[in-house]
A and B are shown apart, each in its own frame.
Chain A
Amino acid sequence: MNLAIINFGSGNLHSVHKAFESVSSDLSNPYNIIVTNDPKEIQSADKIVLPGVGAFGDCKNAILNIEGLHASLEASVIKNKVPFMGICLGMQLLADLSYEFGTHSGFGWIPGEVRRITSPKEYKIPHMGWNEITFSDHKLFDNCEQGSDFYFVHSFYFQNQKNEHSIATTKYPDQITAAVCKENICGTQFHPEKSHINGKKIIHNFLEWKP
Chain B
Amino acid sequence: MLKKRIIPCLDVDNGRVVKGVNFIDLVDAGDPVEQAIIYNAEGADELCFLDITASSDNRDTLLEVVKKTAENCFIPLTVGGGVRNLDDISRLLHFGADKVSINTAAVDNIDLVAEAANKYGSSTIVIAVDAKETAENQWKVFTHGGRKETNIDVVTYCNEVAKLGAGEILLTSMDRDGTKSGFDNKLLKAVTSKVNVPVIASGGVGNLSHLLDGILEGEASALLAASIFHFGQYSIGEVKRYLADNNIPVRI
- Name A's B-contacting residues (CB within 8 A): 11-15, 18-19, 22, 53-55, 58, 89, 121, 123-132, 149, 151, 153-155, 171-172, 191, 193-196, 199-200
Contact = CB atoms under 8 A, between A and B. Distances in A.
Interface string B1-29: 11111000000000000000000000000
25 contacts: A11-B120, A11-B124, A12-B98, A12-B124, A14-B67, A14-B95, A15-B74, A15-B77, A15-B98, A18-B70, A53-B121, A54-B120, A54-B124, A125-B197, A126-B123, A128-B168, A128-B198, A129-B198, A130-B3, A130-B45, A130-B251, A153-B167, A171-B1, A172-B2, A194-B75
Contact of A154 (B76, B95, B123): B123
A58 B123 CA distance: 15
Nearest to B41: A196
Nearest to B120: A11
A194 B74 CA distance: 5
A14 B167 contact: no
Given A14-B95, A19-B74, 20 more contacts: A12-B96, A14-B67, A15-B98, A22-B71, A53-B123, A54-B121, A58-B118, A121-B196, A124-B196, A126-B167, A128-B123, A129-B5, A129-B45, A129-B198, A149-B3, A172-B2, A194-B75, A194-B76, A194-B98, A200-B74
Given A124-B196, A193-B74, A194-B98, A130 B5 contact: yes
B71 A129 contact: no
B222 A129 contact: yes
B248 to A, nearest CB: 13
Contacts of A132: 1
A126 B197 contact: yes
Given A12-B98, A14-B95, A129 B70 contact: no
Nearest to B45: A130
A44 to B, nearest CB: 26
B94 interface: yes
Nearest to B67: A14
Interface in B119-137: 119-124
A146 to B, nearest CB: 14
Smallest CB-CB A-B distances: 6 pairs: A54-B121, A153-B123, A14-B96, A130-B3, A53-B121, A130-B251
